[in-house]
């Protein structure tokens, strides 16, 4: 123990010697001394600082996720050169099922540290983090100190799971208590209420996971280095299924390669037609279903090998649950293809606009949020102000009502990134110019017609790729985000970067359809 702590323990030990064995405080003091002695004050596990070996372990455990692996190896390299560096707290943010928690376990294995997972979901008592004072009945240390005691070393990897789901009430705010724990400048003298003496947390490697950042307290968010994990691409899911999911499920269900084989086309169909998610949980459930059905055959005495292909997949999993997104069959007036980010990754979005006899009203349907409605209003105002330049009869605005609809009306939609898609559908309907069916677009629009940047470029481009759309219009300021898009996808697609909505119309709209006028004999 550090000298000041040892002095305090000696003082309390002398106090215990003078106390009557049957007094209530004796048991309390005895428990406190037991915990103080059990804590690993100077016991630490020897780190693996061999970068090549660490890289190998990370690659074996997880396919893809290059950005996170690179960051971990950088931290290891620093530890190798510098004796006691100031560590940063990594926060892995991404949709459910992409492997955030298992990545923490894999990192601990790679650097040879003990791994302790500390779930924060639903924690709303500050004492859970900082411990209770010894005066209370049933007092105990906070969960951070308990985790260190459980690990048995003073340098474990503590994974704070679901940090975005911490809540606060009259018992205090746990996320405020975490400010000290997660600050490398302060946590070398973390004072747990139960211990009453400082404990050095600077050797502990903290990692946190979250699904969304918005609910994390700003001061706490500021202490963490955020690494975003996007959903997996179809190709990545296929490789993960072959390397990890299928062998794991076969082992768990007691079958071997002699009982079951799945063709690559069969696996592709499971990914595309039976799951729609960013992560892998549903995919794992579908593979487990197949393994269970084969296990039943084996248990009933049928030793023959089952080979699953595209043709017989429905016998095991039933009819396809999801129809893959596909582009429109024809160029149509008033229908533009947009791109959106959903909880399951990227998606394509058809935006429809029609004109009908009326007085110039704009109607919006499809369960749109406020931001999306405002985008539609901005697109309408832009079209109205530039009618002559866009080849639209100015008189038409007072004679027709315009209805913009986004199908799948049961799903709430919001965000500004459909602005240029709405403008394209609107201008197409008013000027009778068909929209090219092989073009998808995303971008925010201003009243001046400028195209502003958006988020989720990788997910949106992959959604267009899945729908066999090979031309995507993106805001010019999003050119810097193209490094996130897989190279093989970039090679097969054409990207048009635009600064003004006029460029969008040039790329997306065809010349106006000629309306036949009956001869009047003049």
CA 233 to CA 487: how far, in whole Å?
12
Rounded to a whole number of angstroms, the CA Rg of the chain reads 30
Secondary structure of residue 123 in the 3-state scheme: coil
Is 460 a catalytic site residue? yes
Give me the sign of the Cα torsion angle 387, 392, 396, 402. Answer: negative
Cβ atoms of 184 and 86 within 8 Å: the answer is yes
DSSP string for residues in 287-298 = HHHHHHHHHHHH
Strands (E), 196-311: 198-199, 205-210, 224-228, 260-262, 306-308
Measure the CA–CA gap between 111 and 257, rounded to whole angstroms: 33
- Residue 205, class by beta-carbon neighbours within 10 Å (0-12 exposed, 13-18 middle, 19+ buried)? buried
* Whether 16 contacts 31, CB under 8 Å: no
Contact 519, 492 (CB under 8 A): no
Residues 6 or more apart in contact with residue 301 via CB below 8 angstroms: none
**Backbone φ, ψ for residue 256 (5° rounding):** -130, 180
Whether the CB-CB separation of 382 and 447 falls below 8 Å is answered with yes
- Helices then strands, each counted (H, E), the chain: 20, 20
> Which structure tokens are listed for 477?
């300021």
C-alpha–C-alpha distance, residues 313 and 316, integer Å? 6
345-357 and 205-210 strand pairing: unpaired
Q: Tokens for 269, please give them.
A: 């169909």
User: 351, exposed or middle or buried, with CB in 10 Å at 0-12, 13-18, 19+?
Assistant: buried
> Could you say which of 106, 175, 278, 417 is catalytic?
417
Q: Decide if 428 contacts 353 (C-beta within 8 A).
A: yes
Whole-Å CA distances, 248 to 24, 100, 263, 311: 53, 18, 17, 24
CB 230 within 8 A of CB 93: no
417 has catalytic annotation = yes
**How buried is residue 288: exposed, middle or buried, by Cβ count under 10 Å (0-12/13-18/19+)?**
middle
Task: Describe the chain by its helix, strand, coil percentages, rounded to 5.
Answer: 45, 20, 40
User: Active site residue: 69, 114, 458, 460, which one?
Assistant: 460
Nearest to 141 by CA among 201, 90, 183: 201
Q: How far apart are CA 428 and CA 435, in angstroms?
A: 7
**Residue count of the chain:** 522
Q: Which residues are known to be catalytic?
A: 417, 460
């Amino acid at each position: 123990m550090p000298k000041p702590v040892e002095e305090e323990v000696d003082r309390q030990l002398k106090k215990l010697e003078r106390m009557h064995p049957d007094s209530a405080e004796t048991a309390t003091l005895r428990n406190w001394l037991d915990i103080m002695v059990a804590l690993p004050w100077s016991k630490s596990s020897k780190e693996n600082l061999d970068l090549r070996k660490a890289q190998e372990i990370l690659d074996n455990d997880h396919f893809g996720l290059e950005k996170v692996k690179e960051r971990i190896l950088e931290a290891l390299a620093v530890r190798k050169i510098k004796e006691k560096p100031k560590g940063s707290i990594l926060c892995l943010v991404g949709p459910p099922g992409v492997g955030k928690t298992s990545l923490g376990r894999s990192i601990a294995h790679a650097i040879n540290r003990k791994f302790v997972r500390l779930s924060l979901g639903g924690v709303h008592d500050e004492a859970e983090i900082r411990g209770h004072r010894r005066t209370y009945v049933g007092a105990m240390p906070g969960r951070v100190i308990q985790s260190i005691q459980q690990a048995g070393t003073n340098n474990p990897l503590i994974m704070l799971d679901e940090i975005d789901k911490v809540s606060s009430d009259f018992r205090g705010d746990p996320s405020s208590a975490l400010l000290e724990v997660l600050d490398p400048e302060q946590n070398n003298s973390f004072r747990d209420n139960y211990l009453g003496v400082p404990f050095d947390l600077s050797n502990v490697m903290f990692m946190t996971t979250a699904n969304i950042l918005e609910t994390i307290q700003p001061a706490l968010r500021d202490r963490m280095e955020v690494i975003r994990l996007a959903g997996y691409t179809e190709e990545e899911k296929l490789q993960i299924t072959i390397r990890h999911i299928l062998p794991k499920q076969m082992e768990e269900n007691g079958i071997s390669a002699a009982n079951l084989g799945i063709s690559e086309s069969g696996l592709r169909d499971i990914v595309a037609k039976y799951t729609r998610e960013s992560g892998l949980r549903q995919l794992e459930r579908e593979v487990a279903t197949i393994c269970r059905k084969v296990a039943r055959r084996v248990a009933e005495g049928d030793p023959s090998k089952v080979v699953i292909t595209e043709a017989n997949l429905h016998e095991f999993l039933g009819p396809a649950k999801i129809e893959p997104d596909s582009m429109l069959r024809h160029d149509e007036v008033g229908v533009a293809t947009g791109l959106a980010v959903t909880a399951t990754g990227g998606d394509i979005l058809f935006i429809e606009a029609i004109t009908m006899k009326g007085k110039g009203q704009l109607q919006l349907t499809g369960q749109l949020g406020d931001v999306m409605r405002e985008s539609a209003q901005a697109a309408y105002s832009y079209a109205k102000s530039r009618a002559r330049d866009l080849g639209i009869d100015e008189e038409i605005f007072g004679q027709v009502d315009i209805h913009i609809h986004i199908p799948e009306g049961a799903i709430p939609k919001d965000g500004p990134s459909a602005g240029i898609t709405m403008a394209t559908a609107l201008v197409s309907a008013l000027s009778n110019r068909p929209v090219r069916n092989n073009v998808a677009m995303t971008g925010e629009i201003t009243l001046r017609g400028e195209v502003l940047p958006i988020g989720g470029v990788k997910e949106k481009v992959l959604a267009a790729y899945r729908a066999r759309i090979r031309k995507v219009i993106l805001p010019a300021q999003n050119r810097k985000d193209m490094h996130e898009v897989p190279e093989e996808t970039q090679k097969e697609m054409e990207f048009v970067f635009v600064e003004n909505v006029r460029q969008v119309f040039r790329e997306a709209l065809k010349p106006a359809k000629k309306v036949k006028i009956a001869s009047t004999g003049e």
